[in-house]
Structure 1
Amino acid sequence: MKGERVAQLELLLKSHPEGLRRAEIARRLGVHRSTISRYVEELKNKVELIDDNNLIKIKNPPDEQEIENLSLYEALALNMSAEALVSSIDIQNPHLASGLRKIAMSMRSYAPKISDNIFALADKIEKSLENSTNRTKVYNKILEVLIDCWVSGHIARMIVESGEEVEMAPYFIGFKEDSLGRYPITVTGRLRHTMDIVTINISGIKSAIMLDETYTIPDNLKPFKTKEKTPGYDAIDMIPLTIKIKERSALNSFSTIIHSDIETKINEKGELICSFKAENSIETMLRIIQSGTSVEVLSPESYKKRLLSYLESIINIYRK
């Protein structure tokens, strides 16, 4: 127990390089003031302490780095920030990993676990940079081959992500543009021995070489067709419904079966009334039943009767 208190005292004093009074140390450690002197004397065997106007502090060597004076909370905040840096690819670089290692070294004496964690984070950053560099080298090499093929009019042979071998006559390189600039992401061309034109993500290509066979881009090359949007479902049989909504969220369950604008109004009792055209289908009935007491059908009367008849037929099944 005494050794634990001495370790806590060392951490406390390193977190407060300006020094602390004995009463404050006792309060922070949760011990009686009379016992502090024993812990101080024990700690003197490990580090050099000074008593400056009743302030107990650790005497730092003149060349000691200021980073060693981090408080416990500062160390924790630094540790969490370092973890966030690992996932921030845009700002990762070797200097960041090196700097984190130096900080971890400075924290070794008073926050060993956090220090070890920061060392591990620095290793992760370096490993991530190494993998990223390797991927970039492969990407740039493949892009160079594709551009050479396109410029010289030669067929490219590629191994794609699935392991399949593809031979293509590159027609053009596709680019993506964002706030950081414009960079190539795809290659589009005709598959060899076919008339099929395909687009392949460059990042999914494992290797690429230029073949001796040449090709020419046809002068009458037509714009590539985009897939037409599938027309939405147009319900033939519609029914005008007016419902009373007791819980507004219940209206969300009707979103896929409503085929008109929703007209809303508040009646004299302050209740929300909604009118719209919905599919005259079993699906609409199921949505109403699913909403329970949150929804009440007001009109048409014929639909109310049909809904009631449907509910009774369900109940009768379980009455047998």
Structure 2
Amino acid sequence: MKGERVAQLEPLLHSHPEGLRRAEIARRLGVHRSTISRYVDELKQYIDIYEENNLIKIKDKEGDENIALSVYESLAFNLSAEILATNSEFQNPHLASGLRKIAMNMRSYAPKISDNVINLAEQIDKQVQQKKESSKFNSILEVLIDSWVSGRIVRIIQMPNGFEPVETELAPYFIGFREEDSGGRNPISVTGRLRHTTEIITIDISTITSATILDETYTIPDNLKPFKLRENTEQYASIDMIPLRLKLKERSAMNVFHTVVHGTPEFDKLEDGTLICSMDVENSIELFLRIIQCGDSVEILSPESFKKKFCKMLNKILVIYQ
């Protein structure tokens, strides 16, 4: 468990170059503050970490070059930053911090543009301080980003239009603007897979009232298809498929897979009469449940990674009843 936490600490610090307090790191990793010093000491063996003004930071490597933009690139960046700052309902203090760092890099060769970028950063900071809603929004956004970076499931609670709170457990795949036809500001949303399903949904972050990172990891599939809007809905459709190979004692066992998305099954009969089925199947909790339902009538042959994952789940289930 400790090794996992230390592994999660590095990407967390990389995503916060301004540094994080020990208490904040503990909150984001879901551990007690007293354990953070041990994690930091262990990570120091691999990367250069230091503490400044009670903030834990990753030290820049020697020889790292500053960003050098041309005047044209600098102006294009300035204009893009202005669009970003005015396109979102909630302003972000990390945007202001990043703008200042880049502005200082262009001070020597584009002083006027540098001043414009610094002024833009100051405007963002003022808006953040004036709007209490921005503080809550940014706190939730940071949790979602940490979940995304560390590859862990996040539990979110929404309060849509004053109705009963809705709890959702999500594996974030993407965080960004969602296009709308309203002509107004585009909301910042999180798109990801619902836990225990293959369903991909997109949620407006401003509707989230609480976000908590869970102690369960996930991976974004390499064969993830581009998100596409379904007709008459705001959800996205994308399914992670795996090339499943099964050994069957009874062909009728295939009936349990009718509720699972799969390709056309291909059957091979061995000399001893054993029936082998190969097909592309959705990688979901539903698939696990259907295989368990088959009992000893079905045996997973490949892929090996899925077979190990299935055995790990069976062991977890057995622990409950032992």
Do the structures match in fold with TM over 0.5?
Answer: no
Q: Rg: which structure is higher?
A: 1
After TM superposition, the score normalised by the length of structure 2 is 0.28
Higher relative contact order (CA 8 A, sep 6+): 2
After TM superposition, the score normalised by the length of structure 1 is 0.28
